[in-house]
Amino acid sequence: MRDADDNQTSRTPPLGASAQAPAHVAIIMDGNGRWAKARGLPRTAGHKKGVDAVRRTVEAARELGVGTLTIFSFSSENWRRPEEEVSDLMGLLRFYLRSEVAELHKAGIRLRVIGERARLSDDINRLIDDAETLTGANRTMTLVVALSYGSRQEIVAAAKRLAEDVAAGRLSADAIDEQALSGRLFTADLPDPDLIIRTSGEKRISNFLLWQAAYAELVFVDTLWPDFTKRDLEAAIDEFHRRERRFGATTASTR
């Protein structure tokens, strides 16, 4: 985790043979519904095409050398969508967990799921447990699926755990700091995202990794998620490399 007072300044070159991909890329996958509507199709068709985009993006991220890829799959607020749409999304999730995990494992990709797992059905939780166990030792890349996830809820839950530890005498109130709270988030064992991408032209982060995104670079692209390709990912990473990352410090040119 990076300290807020880190004075390191870094300039990274444009994407190319000598440039490294960001260690952690996170993506807010948006636009499935609009993709389907534009074609006169039901929203389910957009979600199905979105799964194809996930497959392409995971492979592209692995090829580009991304260490951790996090995808915002289903938010806490998405439970308020029509029951039929939620049911279709859960069906797609089951299909993905049953059909894709073997390929992830073969590619050396570790799967992690973060979010409020208690809200998911028992069979989905079993599939997740089996997938995390199967891929747990893989090191080529970590794929994090944010599922039934909301960042405010995550932070509140972490604060409650801190309060419980203080009340039980396991932790002094004076010992509560950024590291203590970070260690109680779903992402405690993961690096903070370097780059967050949102598709579909919307320019907000929608309750996604609020704590972890403190120093992330944000890139918003117009492409609807089902149309997202390796070229779009490369373009976002190229934009990332053109940014000057100061982590709160200043340089002579910006004073």
Residue 49: name the closest of 74, 32, 61, 37 by CA.
Answer: 32
Is 75 one of the annotated binding-site residues?
yes
First to last CA, the chain: 26
Neighbours of 96 (CB within 10 A): 18
* Catalytic entry in 78, 125, 138, 207: 78
- What pairing do the DSSP bridges indicate for beta strands 217-220 and 244-245? unpaired
186-214 as b/e: b if 16+ CB within 10 A = bbeebebbbbbbbbbeeeebebbbebbbe
73 marked as part of a ligand binding site: no
Q: For residue 112, say whether it is annotated as part of any ligand binding site.
A: no
Ligand-binding site membership of 211 (annotated): no
Is 7 designated active site?
A: no
Q: Is 30 part of any known ligand binding site?
A: yes
30 carries an active-site annotation: yes
Cα–Cα distance for residue pair 2/6, rounded to 1 Å: 7
> Has 43 been labeled as part of a binding site?
yes
Please check if 94 is assigned to a binding site: no
Q: Kindly state the DSSP code that residue 52 receives in the 8-state scheme.
A: H
Query: What type of residue sits at position 239?
Result: E
Please tell me whether 198 is known to bind a ligand. yes
Residue 225 annotated as binding site: no
Residues 6 or more apart whose Cβ sits within 8 Å of residue 170: none
Residue 31 labeled ligand binder: yes
Helix locations, the chain, DSSP H: 32-38, 43-64, 83-99, 101-106, 122-135, 151-167, 178-182, 230-242
Of these residues, 5, 30, 174, 207, which one is catalytic?
30
Whether 204 has a binding-site annotation, put simply, is yes
Per the annotation, does 81 bind a ligand? Answer: yes
Which segments are annotated as binding site for Mg(2+)? 30, 217
Which segments are annotated as binding site? 30-35, 43, 47, 75-77, 79, 81, 198, 204-206, 217
Which segments are annotated as binding site for substrate? 31-35, 43, 47, 75-77, 79, 81, 198, 204-206
The residues assigned a catalytic role are 30, 78
